[in-house]
Amino acid sequence: MSFLAKSLSRVKPSPTIAITTKAGELKAAGRDVIALSAGEPDFDTPDNIKAAAKAAIDAGKTKYTAPDGIIELKRAVCDKFKRDNNLDYTPEQVSISTGGKQVLYNALIATLNPGDEVIIPAPYWVSYPDMVLLGGGTPVPVETRIEDNFKLSPAALESAITPKTKWLIFNSPSNPTGAGYSRAELKALTDVLVKHPHVWVMTDDMYEHLAYDGFEFCTPAEVEPKLYDRTLTVNGVSKAYAMTGWRIGYAAGPAELIKAMRKVQSQSTSNPSSISQWAALEALTGPQDYLDMSRPIFQKRRDLVVDMLNKADGLICPTPEGAFYVYPSIAGCIGKSTPKGVKIESDEVFATELLSSTGVAVVFGAAFGLSPNFRVSYATSESELITACTRIQEFCASLN
Ligand SMILES: Cc1ncc(COP(=O)(O)O)c(C=O)c1O
C-alpha cells in the first residue's frame, strides 16, 4: 500500500510548468530554445510597485497580517470592483490570498463535498480539474469548438447541469485560448444559470486588463445582478501588473463563503506575504500607466503570431480577444510524418517533435482538455516571436 494519499493519484503535476522546466534544461545544455510556454508577462514589475514594497520593508510591515489580508488592500479591492466592474462589495466580502490560484483552491476546498460536480469549459486552465479533484469533487469538462472561437454555448451549459452541479468555473479572457466573451455572449450563459439556482459561479477574471481591439470586458455578477449572491469574482495582480512572483490574488463574494475561505487559509498558509500585499495595494491604487503601455505591445504581438501561424501548413489560428495566448488547431497536421519518420498522431507528439527539432517549446492541447491543438504564449519579444513562428512554419512545411 502506498504511503501517499489516494486523492493524489488522479492529480497531475502542472504540464505547463513541466514543459517550461524542460525548455529551461535544454537551454542550459546549450540548445537554442525559444519557450512559448510560460504563462507570465515578460515585462518587469513597474517601479512604483517595487518602491511600495521596499517602503513596506523599511517601515517594518514584515509581520503576520490578518489571515485574508490587510484592511487597506481589502478596501482597495472594493474600490477596484466598483471602478472597473460596477460591483459593490464591503471588506467582509473580500479575500486576499497567495495568488489567484490559492483563491480558487480555498473556494473549492471550502465548498466541495464528495460527488459535487464542477462544470469546466474545455479547453481550460490546467489547474481547474486537478484542484476540483483535490477538493474531493468531480470535474465535468464541457468541450467548446474552434468554430465558436472556443466559447461555451448556452445549450452545452444547460445540458451539463445536473442536480449535483455546484459550480461553473468561468474564465474570460481565457487561458489557453485568449477567448473573451462579449456582454451578449455572457448574458446568454447567465440566462441559463438564472434558471438553476443551485449552481454557483466562480469567475476567474485574471486577464481582465489584457484585452484588445477595444474589447469590453464584463463579468457575470455585473452582467446578471441576480447572480450576485452566488458568484465568487476572482482576480489578481499577477498577470495585469507583471507580478507573478509576488503571489497576490483576491476575490469578492458572499460573506459566508469568504469566511469559510478564510478558515481554510488560516489553517494552511496563514496570510499572503505582508510585503506583497503592500505592493499590490500600490498596483491597484497607484498610476495605471503600465496597463496602457503593455496592452498595445501585447496586441501587436497577438496580430503577428496569428498572422504567421495561419500561414503555416495545416494550422488554423483564430484571433482571440485577450490574454497573451493563442490556441491553433493542428488538425491539418495529424497523420503526417516528420522527415525522421515520426508520425504526428497527437498534439503531444507534435509539441515533442517541434521542441526536439526546432527548439520551440509550446504546450500541447491535451494538457488543456481539447485536442488537437497547442498553446502559444506570446509574452516574449517580437523578434523571438518572429524566429519561433518561422521555425513553426518550417516544421509544418517539413511534414508529409
Ligand atoms: C486563468 C488563470 N487563473 C489563475 C491563474 C493563477 O494566477 P496566480 O499566479 O495569481 O496564482 C493563472 C495563472 O497562470 C491563470 O492563467
Domains of the chain by residue range? 8-44+290-398, 63-287
- Percent of the chain past pLDDT 70, that is, above it, reads 100
Provide mean pLDDT across the span 346-361. Answer: 94
Tell me the CA–centroid distance for residue 240 and ligand 1, in Å: 11
Tell me the CA–centroid distance for residue 124 and ligand 1, in Å: 12
What is the total residue count of the chain?
400
Indicate which atom in ligand 1 lies nearest the CA of residue 101: 11
pLDDT at position 20 is: 78
pLDDT at position 143 is: 97
Strand order in the sheet with 363-364: 325-326, 374-377, 363-364
- Write out the DSSP string of 113-170: -TT-EEEEEES--THHHHHHHHTT-EEEEEE--GGGTTPPPHHHHHHH--TTEEEEEE
pLDDT at position 267 is: 96
Round to whole Å and give the CA distance between 83 and 90: 14
Tell me the pLDDT band of 295, cut-offs 50, 70 and 90: very high
Cα 320 to chain center, whole Å? Answer: 14
Handedness of CA 166, 172, 175, 176 (dihedral sign): positive
**Under 8 Å between Cβ of 185 and 151:** yes
Digit-coded pLDDT (tens) for 118-136: 999 999 999 999 999 999 9
Indicate which atom in ligand 1 lies nearest the CA of residue 16: 14
Residue 233 pairs in a beta bridge with 203, 252
Least confident window among 27-41, 96-110, 266-280, 313-327: 27-41
Does the beta carbon of 39 lie inside 6 Å of ligand 1?
Answer: yes
pLDDT at position 6 is: 84
Indicate which atom in ligand 1 lies nearest the CA of residue 247: 10
Tell me the CA–centroid distance for residue 2 and ligand 1, in Å: 31
Tell me the CA–centroid distance for residue 216 and ligand 1, in Å: 21
Tell me the CA–centroid distance for residue 224 and ligand 1, in Å: 24
- Percent of the chain past pLDDT 90, that is, above it, reads 92
**175, 181, 210, 232: which to mutate for ligand 1, most atoms within 8 A of CB?**
175
Q: Say which DSSP state 366 is in.
A: G
Domain 8-44+290-398 has CATH 3.90.1150.10: yes
**Under 8 Å between Cβ of 41 and 238:** no
Does the beta carbon of 238 lie inside 6 Å of ligand 1?
Answer: yes
Residue 16: is its pLDDT beyond 80? no
Tell me the CA–centroid distance for residue 151 and ligand 1, in Å: 19
pLDDT at position 210 is: 97
Residue 1: is its pLDDT beyond 70? no
**Under 8 Å between Cβ of 68 and 251:** no
Does the beta carbon of 135 lie inside 6 Å of ligand 1?
Answer: no
Round to whole Å and give the CA distance between 67 and 281: 16
Closest by CA position to 173, among listed 80, 37, 286, 39: 39
Cα 297 to chain center, whole Å? Answer: 20
Tell me the CA–centroid distance for residue 204 and ligand 1, in Å: 8
CATH level 2 (architecture), domain 63-287 = 3-Layer(aba) Sandwich (3.40)
Helix axes 47-58, 274-285, angle to 10 degrees: 140
What value, to the nearest 5°, has the Cα angle with vertex 302 and ends 298 and 307?
A: 155
Provide mean pLDDT across the span 349-368. Answer: 94
Which residue has cell 489578481?
Answer: 236
Q: 3-class SS at 314?
A: coil
Residue 115: is its pLDDT beyond 90? yes
Digit-coded pLDDT (tens) for 186-239: 999 999 999 999 999 999 999 999 999 999 999 999 999 999 999 999 999 999
Digit-coded pLDDT (tens) for 145-195: 999 999 999 999 999 999 999 999 999 999 999 999 999 999 999 999 999
Does the beta carbon of 246 lie inside 6 Å of ligand 1?
Answer: no
Residues 6 or more apart in contact with residue 378 via CB below 8 angstroms: 36, 298, 301, 302, 304, 305, 324, 325, 326, 385
Phi, psi of 47 (to 5 degrees): -60, -40
Tell me the pLDDT band of 23, cut-offs 50, 70 and 90: confident
Tell me the pLDDT band of 14, cut-offs 50, 70 and 90: confident
Other C-beta atoms lying within 10 Å of the C-beta of residue 323: 29
pLDDT at position 18 is: 76
Indicate which atom in ligand 1 lies nearest the CA of residue 40: 14
Q: Say which DSSP state 34 is in.
A: E
Residue 143 pairs in a beta bridge with 122
pLDDT at position 275 is: 98
**Under 8 Å between Cβ of 89 and 81:** yes
Tell me the CA–centroid distance for residue 251 and ligand 1, in Å: 13
Digit-coded pLDDT (tens) for 298-336: 999 999 999 999 999 999 999 999 999 999 999 999 999
Q: 3-class SS at 171?
A: strand
C-alpha cell at 117: 460536480
What value, to the nearest 5°, has the Cα angle with vertex 398 and ends 396 and 399?
A: 70
**101, 128, 174: which to mutate for ligand 1, most atoms within 8 A of CB?**
101
Tell me the CA–centroid distance for residue 127 and ligand 1, in Å: 9
Does the beta carbon of 173 lie inside 6 Å of ligand 1?
Answer: no
